[in-house]
Each structure stands twice: as structure tokens, then as C-alpha cells.
Structure 1
Amino acid sequence: MMDGPYFVLTLAAALGCGLMAGVFFAFSTSVMRTLGALPPAQGMAAMQKLNVLIVNPLFLAVFVGTAGLCAVVAVVTFVLWPDPGTLALLLGCALYLFGSFGVTVAANIPRNEALAKLDPEAPESVEPWRSYVREWTAWNHVRAVGALAGCAALVLGLTA
């Protein structure tokens, strides 16, 4: 059974993954559905504001901090290979780093940046907004699954 700082770091990474999975789940099941159901100008303006306000110290501490923890846990786990649970730990770290953090950087942030350039009141912004909601939400589902699966794998690694 793992103990000491390695245990604490891994537990913190698992909790961070779980917390981020919850954030992404809430966005997919309620926030994006609500914004998509509003008149386009209102939904777009609300999402533009949300994209600004979510970049705050608390959110970034959990989102980026979890990525940092997963990176550290992965390095330590490679050093300890092939101790019990190391495969699950590496899988959990990879799921969060690539399936959640990486997807955010590669898919969600570029869409947010494109949305920021649109005028909510312009009629020509309606179709890009509809595409944004559909595509962003699909990638958000991927992030939610990546974070939740990462959490589960880390927990399994902790119990090995």
C-alpha cells in the first residue's frame, strides 16, 4: 500500500480529477443546455462573459493544479514501476492530462477564442453560435469522461 507524500499527491490528483469531472458534467448537462436554449444573442453574450470569469485563481488552481499533480504522480510512478497499481496510476494521469487538460487546450479554448470575436447582436453570428454550442459541448463531454475515468483509475491505483 502506498503511503507518505506519494499517497497524498495521488489522492489530491484523484480528487482534482473528480472535481473537474463534476464541473464538466455540470456544464454539459445544464449550463450549455441553458445557454443553447436562450435566444442566440443572450446565450452568446452569457457564454462570452462566462469564458472571461471562469479564468480565475480558484478554477485555475484546481484545473491546472490537477494537471501538475498528474504530471508529478506520473513521473514518480515511472520510477516505482512495476509496483502494484502503477499501471492504473499511469492510466489515470494520462486520461486527465490528455483526455481533459489536452482536450481543453486543443478543442475548447480555440472555440472560446473564436466566440470572443463574435458580436452577439449580429445576425451572422447566429450560425457560428449554434455550431459553437454543438461542438464545444461534444468536446466537453470528452473532457468530463477523461476526468472521471482518470479519477477512477487513480483511485484504483491507490487501492492496489
Structure 2
Amino acid sequence: MTLERRQVTSERSCGSIALNRASASLARCSCLSSSARRSPACWQERGAIAVICGGALYVAGMFVVTVGFNVQLNDQLAAADTATGAATPVCARYLTEWTFWNHVRTIASTAAVLFIVAIATRP
């Protein structure tokens, strides 16, 4: 086996190990299932807090921000009459506010990924 082939094989196996660990952590602590809600042991497992925080951060940072702010701004921009000068203030507001909320989504998504990485790479 060539060095390049060994490196690819090694990278694939490391990726599989990380995915398997993350999947096992999520499966063991699926706190949304009815049996897990009754069992306090699920909440005490190592990595449970990271799963909960990462999931909550993703939902709040991506879904809520998108639906609550970005879609509203997109609708306002689409409704603005671009033929007249009335759309200029809407466009200016759109650029500043949409960009801000897009940065919030980016930071929240990155933080959620970091929680997942922390779970996957734990010993």
C-alpha cells in the first residue's frame, strides 16, 4: 500500500471514529425520547450538557433568527417599490440589519459545531 493510500485510509478511519463517537453520545442521551425524560441518568451522562447546549444554540441561532429576522427583512425588501425612491431607506435598513443577523447565525452555527466537535473528540 502506498503512503498516499495509507494516509487516505487513516483519515477515513479517524473520521469514522469521530462520527461514531458523536452518534453514540447522541443516541445514548436522546433526551427527547419518552424513556429518557423519565430517566435522570441520561442528563448525568458525560457530554449531555454539550448536546443540550449545542442543540439549543443551533435552534435559537439558526432557526429563530432566520424566521424571526432574516425572512421578515427579505419580505420587506421584496415589497419595497424599487421604481421610486421609497425603497432607498428600506435597502439601507436591510443591508445593516440583515448583515447583523446573518453574523449572529454564523456565530451560533460555529458554536454549535464546536459543541459537536467537543463531544466527538472526547476521550
Paired position in structure 1 for 2:93: 131
1:44-63 CA distance string (max 9 Å, x none):
xxxxxxxxxxxxxxxxxxxx
Distance 2:19 2:74 in 1: 41
1:92–1:149 CA contact under 8 A, matched in 2: yes
CA RMSD after TM alignment: 3.0
1:2 and 1:140, CA in 2 relative to 1: closer, same or farther beyond 3 A? Answer: closer
Larger radius of gyration: 2
Match of residue 147 from structure 1: 109
Taking the TM superposition and a 5 Å limit, the aligned residue runs for 1:79-118 are 79=36, 80-118=42-80
TM-score, normalised to structure 2's length? 0.67
Matched to 1:93, the amino acid is G
1:130 and 1:82, CA in 2 relative to 1: closer, same or farther beyond 3 A?
same
Tell me how many residue pairs correspond in the alignment: 97
Cα distance in 1, alignment partners of residues 104 and 31 from structure 2: 21
Residues 1:7 and 2:23 aligned together: yes
Q: Paired residue for 1:35?
A: none
Aligned CA distance change for structure 1 residues 115 and 107 (closer, same or farther; 3 Å): same
Structure 1 or 2: more helix by fraction: 1
Q: Which has the higher contact order (CA 8 A, sep 6+)?
A: 1
Structure 1 stretches of 4+ moved >4 Å = 1-4
Shift of 1:8: 7.3
Using a 3 Å threshold, how does the CA distance of structure 1 residues 8 and 91 change in structure 2: closer, same or farther?
same
* Counterpart Cα distance in 2 of 1:85 and 1:9: 7
- Point out where structure 2 has 5 or more consecutive residues left out of the alignment: 1-16, 37-41
Contact 2:76–2:90 (CA under 8 A) maintained in structure 1: no
User: Quick one: distance in 1 between partners of 2:88 and 2:76?
Assistant: 13
Q: If the length of structure 1 is used for normalisation, what is the TM-score?
A: 0.52
